[in-house]
Structure 1
Amino acid sequence: MTGAAWALACVALLGVASAAVTQDRILNCVPPTQPHPGTGKTCRSMALIQQGDAHRYTYHAESPGSQDILITVASPKADITVLSALGIPLVASGVLGDNQFMLSRAAQESDPGPYELIVRGVVPETQYTVSTTVHERRRCLAGRDRSALQSVLEGPGCCSAPGSCARLRAALSADPAQDMCDQPGSLCDDAGQLVKLDLSDQAGAGGGLECPVPPGLAILSALQHLDLSGNNLSGSLEGALPSLGALPRLRHLRLAHNRLTGSLPCDLLREGLVSLDLAGNALTGAVPACYLASPSLRELSLRHNLLQGDLPAPGSQAALESLQATHMGLTGSVPSFQAASRLTHLDLQHNRLEGPLPALPPSLLSLSLQGNMLSGSIGEGWVAGLPALQSLDLGANSLTGGLPEGLAAAPHLRKLRLARNVLSGPLPGAWRAWRLAALDVSGNRLAGELPMGLARLPALRSLALASNRGLCGDVARFLAAALAARSPLRALDASWTGVGCGEEGLPPSLAALAMFRGGEAAQGLAVVGGDPADVFDATDAEAPASPRGRLSLRGTRVRGPFPVWVLSALARAEEGQGVQIDLAATSTSLPRKPSAEGGEAAASGAVARKPSVKDDECGGMRGHEHPADDGDTPRIRAWVSAAPQGAAKPAGAKKDD
C-alpha cells in the first residue's frame, strides 16, 4: 500500500499459559483496478481466529491526511476495535457491530497514528477477511443527501432550540473539512451518498433532535446504518414507519435512549434488517413473536423499556444471535431458546421471570438471568449443553441444589456469578476452569472446606464467598497456595464465613500476593475495623481513583496477631492505589504501638481478644454469633496514626501530618 505499512501480531490467549504467541503476517496488496475514479490499492488478508484470541493490525501512515482509508472486516462472529495512537477507541463493535470504518484524511491530520485494528474471536473458531482500500479523492456529500439533512435541520421543532443539533449544523456548513462524509461514525460511498449516518448522543451537547423521526430521512436511498440514539425523539414507532420503511437498504437501526412510545410494530422489521436497538425508551405492551422469529434480525436490544408480559419463544427460522431484554416487566417462565441455533448472547436480567432454567442452544457464549424469580437446580446436563459458555450470571434468584462439577471444568468460562440464591452443599473440589477470572457465590448456604483448587486457577482475579456460614478451612493456607501458584488474585471476600487460621495468624509472606503488590495487580492500602463506617484509606484522598485490591475476612474465625506487615506493603504499592483489608469482628490481637521499623511489633504489646466461637475443625460461624467489638477499632486508628513516615494514614489525612 502506498504510504503505509501493515503488520499483524496474533496474541493467543491460551487457557493455562499466560505467555503470548506472536505471529507476523503481511496483507496481500493488489494494484489498483480503478473500479471507481480515485480508488487506489486494496490490501486483503483472510484469517482463522479462535475464541479468545486477538489479531492486531498496525497501520503507519507516511503522509497522513493525503488519503481516506476504508477498513472492512467481513465476519459477524468477531468483535472489532479501532484504536488511535493514544489507545482511544475510535470505533468498537458489539456482538455484531460495524464492519466498516473510514479513517478519513481529516482524522489523520488531527491524529496521524499509528492506528491499531484489533479483531477478537468470540466463538470457538471463525474465519474473517480484513481489507483496506485507499481513496485518494475526497468524498463530499451528494446534493440529494444534503437536501435530506437540510430538511431535518429545518424541520418543525427538530433543531429549533438554540445550540441544538451542533454536529448536523457543522456538517451542512460551507466548510469542506466539516463535510458529513468526514464526520466520525458516518460513511459515504464513492458517489457521496450516505451509507452510514451517525447523529447519536446529541441530547447532552446543546440538545439533539426534538421531534418525531424526521420524514426527510426517507430520501437517503443508499443508507444502510442509521444511528439516532441519545436524542430527544418523540412519538411512536408506528408513526416513524413511513420514514424508516422507505429506506430500501437499511440493515442497522439504532433509536436507543430517546422518548419513543407505543407498541412494537412488526412492520418495523423490514426485510434485510440485521440489528435493532430500541433500548431506553418508553415502549409499552408485549414483545410480539415476530421480533424473535425474524429470518434476518440478528441483534435485538429492548432493555429499559416498559414492555411486559410473556416473552415468546424464537422460531426455527430465527437468525437471532443477541437478545437484550433487561429491566422490564417480563413475566411467566423463560421460553425455550433451543430453536435459536445461532444465539450467542442472551440477557434477561431484572424482570419477573420464574420457573426453571430454560433450554438453550450450544452456541451460547453469554447468559444473564440475574434478578428474576427462577427456581429449581442447576443440572449437570444443563451445564453440559453449553460447551462454549464464557459468562454466566444467575445471581439474585431462588435456585437450589449444589454447584455442578461441570461449571468448575468449563473450558471457556471467564465469569461466573451465582450470588444470592439458596445453593447448598460443598464447592467442587477440583477446578479446571482455567480461564475463570471472576467467581461470586456469596449469599448462599454453601458449606464444607474451601477448595485449594480455586487458589491455583491461573486467571482468577476476583473471588467472592461471603455470607456462606458453612464454608470453612484455613484461609492462610489458601492464600499461601495462591501465592505459590503465582495467582493474579486481587480481591477475596470471605466475610461472614467459617474460614479461619491458626494462632500464628496471617504470615508476612502473604505480602507478596498480587493484591498487595504495586503495578497492574496491586492497589495500595487501607486498614479496616469495627463497621463499614470505619473504613479509611491510606492513600492520598485526591489521588486518581483506581480499582481496589481487597481482602475481607470480617466476621470469620481468623485469629492471631494483627498483620502489621500490611503497613510495610504500602511502600511497594504505587502512589494513588489502595488495598482494603477488613478484619473487623475477628479474634486478632493488636500491638499497643508500632515498632521503630513500622512493621514488626513486640509480643508484649499484644491485646488479647477472646474468640466467641468454638475452635472445632470446620464448624463455621454459628448463627449470627461473632466477636464483639472490644475497642480494637480505635486502637487500630491510633496504631496507624502513630506509624512511622511512609506507613498508612486515614483517608483525608495530609501527607505531612
Structure 2
Amino acid sequence: FPWSLLNFEVLTYLDLSRNNFIGQLPEVMTNLTQIFSSNNSSNSQLVNKIPSNLEFLILFGNLLNGTIPSWVYTIPSLRYLYLGHNQFTGHIGNFQHNSLVGLGLNNNNLSGPLPLSISKLVSLRFLVVYFNNLSGNVESKIFFKLKNLIDLEMSNNPLLSLSSFTFATNILPKIVSLQLSSSNITEIPHLLQIVKYIDHLDLSNNQIKGNIPKWFLEKHLSNFKGTRQLDPTITVIGLQLIFLLHPWHHWNECVCSGDVIFAGIVILDIIWVKFGHSLLSELGKRGDDSFLPISN
C-alpha cells in the first residue's frame, strides 16, 4: 500500500478506492508524527506526518483488513471517510472532531456498538454502516444533534437493537433516505411523522405487524421498500389493505384500517387479503393510480 503518499503535507484529497490493496492501515506511534505499517515490522514504511489538512480519505473497494487505527478518528480536518467494501474488523472508534460530513463503513466485519461519539458530528450528512456485525442498542440520543443528516443506512446488522431509535419522534428532521432492512424492527419509525418527504425508505425484511398508521399513508414516498403481504391465515375485515409504493416490498405483515387517504399511490398490491366492498368502492373513485394488482 503506498502510504508514502501521506508524506505530502499539503495533501487534502486521497482516493485509492477499487485498487484491491491488501493489508492493514498503519498504526500511529507518537502524536501523528510517526506511522509504521503494521503489516510487516521489518519492512515498515515510515510516514513523517499525517497531513493536517486532509479532508478526503477514500479507500473503499479494497481488501484492507484488521482494525481501523485510532488516528483515523483524530484527523481534525477530515470531512469524508469512506472505508466501505473492505474486510475491517473490531469496533468503530471514537471520533475526536466534528468535521465529518460523510462516513461510509459499510460492507465490512465491524462489530460492537455504534459509538456515542457520532453524536458530536453535527455536520454529518451521510452515515452508512450497513452489512456489518454491529450490536447493542442504538440510542436515539446519538441523533439528537445530527440535524443535517439526510442519508442513514443501517440495514443488515442483525444484532443491532433499534427499539429506542424506532420510537423517537424528534430526530433527523432532514432525512430523505432511511434504510433499515433486516433490522428486527417491529414498528414504522416514528421519526417519519415529522419528515415532509422521503426519497428512499427501506423497511423490508423486518417484523413490522399491525395497523399502518394514517400519517404514514399520507406520506409522499418515491421509493419505498417495506410491506408485501399478510400471512394467509389472517382474516382482514373491512377496509384493511397492504399499502405499497414500490414493487419490491417484502417480509412484513402490515394492514391499515379505518378512514384512509391515499396520497400519491404508485403501487397498491393486495395479496392474501379478504376485503369488503368499501375498499373497492373507495379505490374506484380514483382515476390516477399507476398500478393496482389484486391477487388471492
TM-score category, normalised to shorter length: 0.7 to 0.9
Residue 268 of structure 2 corresponds to 492
TM-superposed deviation, 1:404? 4.3
Residue 132 of structure 2 corresponds to 351
CA contact (8 A) 1:392 1:415 kept: yes
CA contact (8 A) 1:292 1:312 kept: yes
TM-superposed deviation, 1:278? 0.6
Q: Distance in 2 between matches of 1:382 and 1:469?
A: 22
Residue 286 of structure 1 corresponds to 67
Q: Distance in 2 between matches of 1:444 and 1:379?
A: 25
CA contact (8 A) 1:429 1:451 kept: no
TM-superposed deviation, 1:427? 1.9
Residue 334 (1) aligns with residue 114 (2): yes
TM-superposed deviation, 1:495? 3.2
CA contact (8 A) 2:153 2:178 kept: yes
Residues 1:423 and 1:331: Cα distance change in structure 2 (over 3 Å): same
Residue 277 of structure 2 corresponds to 502
Residues 1:391 and 1:472: Cα distance change in structure 2 (over 3 Å): closer
TM-superposed deviation, 1:252? 1.4
Residue 385 of structure 1 corresponds to 171
Is the partner of 1:290 in helix, strand or coil? helix
Is the partner of 2:90 in helix, strand or coil? strand
The one of 187, 206, 228 equivalent to 1:421 is 206
Q: Distance in 1 between matches of 2:95 and 2:239?
A: 41
Q: Distance in 1 between matches of 2:283 and 2:255?
A: 25
Equivalences for residues 85-484 of structure 1 within 5 A: 236=1, 240-242=2-4, 244-265=5-26, 267=35, 269-315=50-96, 317-336=97-116, 337-358=118-139, 359-360=142-143, 361-373=146-158, 374-379=160-165, 382-400=168-186, 402-431=187-216, 435-442=220-227, 462=246, 466-469=250-253, 471=255, 482=262
TM-superposed deviation, 1:463? 7.3
Q: Distance in 1 between matches of 2:90 and 2:106?
A: 13
Q: Distance in 2 between matches of 1:409 and 1:463?
A: 25
TM-score (norm 2): 0.74
| Larger relative strand fraction | 1
Q: How many residues in Structure 1 have an aligned counterpart in Structure 2?
A: 266
Q: Distance in 2 between matches of 1:444 and 1:296?
A: 48
Q: Distance in 1 between matches of 2:249 and 2:21?
A: 42
Letter of the structure 2 residue corresponding to residue 332 of structure 1: G
TM-score (norm 1): 0.36
CA contact (8 A) 1:245 1:270 kept: yes
Q: Percent identity, aligned pairs only? A: 24
Structure 2: where are the runs of 5+ without partners?
29-34, 36-46
TM-superposed deviation, 1:512? 3.9
1:576-622 CA-partner distances (Å, limit 9, x unpaired): xxxxxxx3xx2xxxxxxxxxxxxxxxxxxxxxxxxxxxxxxxxxxxx
Residues 1:445 and 1:427: Cα distance change in structure 2 (over 3 Å): same
TM-superposed deviation, 1:249? 2.5
CA contact (8 A) 2:86 2:107 kept: yes
Residues 1:352 and 1:514: Cα distance change in structure 2 (over 3 Å): same
Letter of the structure 1 residue corresponding to residue 127 of structure 2: L
Q: Distance in 2 between matches of 1:508 and 1:444?
A: 19
Residues 1:490 and 1:399: Cα distance change in structure 2 (over 3 Å): closer
Residues 1:366 and 1:505: Cα distance change in structure 2 (over 3 Å): closer
- Pick 1 or 2: higher relative contact order, CA cutoff 8 A, min separation 6: 2
TM-superposed deviation, 1:295? 0.9
TM-superposed deviation, 1:552? 4.4
Q: Distance in 2 between matches of 1:273 and 1:346?
A: 20
Q: Distance in 2 between matches of 1:376 and 1:368?
A: 13
TM-superposed deviation, 1:391? 1.3
Q: Distance in 2 between matches of 1:326 and 1:502?
A: 47
TM-superposed deviation, 1:408? 3.0
TM-superposed deviation, 1:428? 1.8
Q: Distance in 2 between matches of 1:444 and 1:370?
A: 21
Q: Distance in 2 between matches of 1:433 and 1:511?
A: 15
TM-superposed deviation, 1:341? 1.7
Residue 44 of structure 2 corresponds to none
TM-superposed deviation, 1:368? 0.4
Q: Distance in 2 between matches of 1:462 and 1:508?
A: 18
Structure 1: where are the runs of 5+ without partners?
1-235, 516-549, 554-582, 587-657
TM-superposed deviation, 1:357? 2.0
Q: Distance in 2 between matches of 1:408 and 1:385?
A: 10
TM-superposed deviation, 1:247? 3.0
Residues 1:370 and 1:253: Cα distance change in structure 2 (over 3 Å): same
1:363-405 CA-partner distances (Å, limit 9, x unpaired): 32110000112224154663412222221111112223x3344
Residues 1:433 and 1:260: Cα distance change in structure 2 (over 3 Å): farther
CA contact (8 A) 2:168 2:190 kept: no
TM-superposed deviation, 1:411? 2.5
Q: Distance in 2 between matches of 1:324 and 1:340?
A: 14
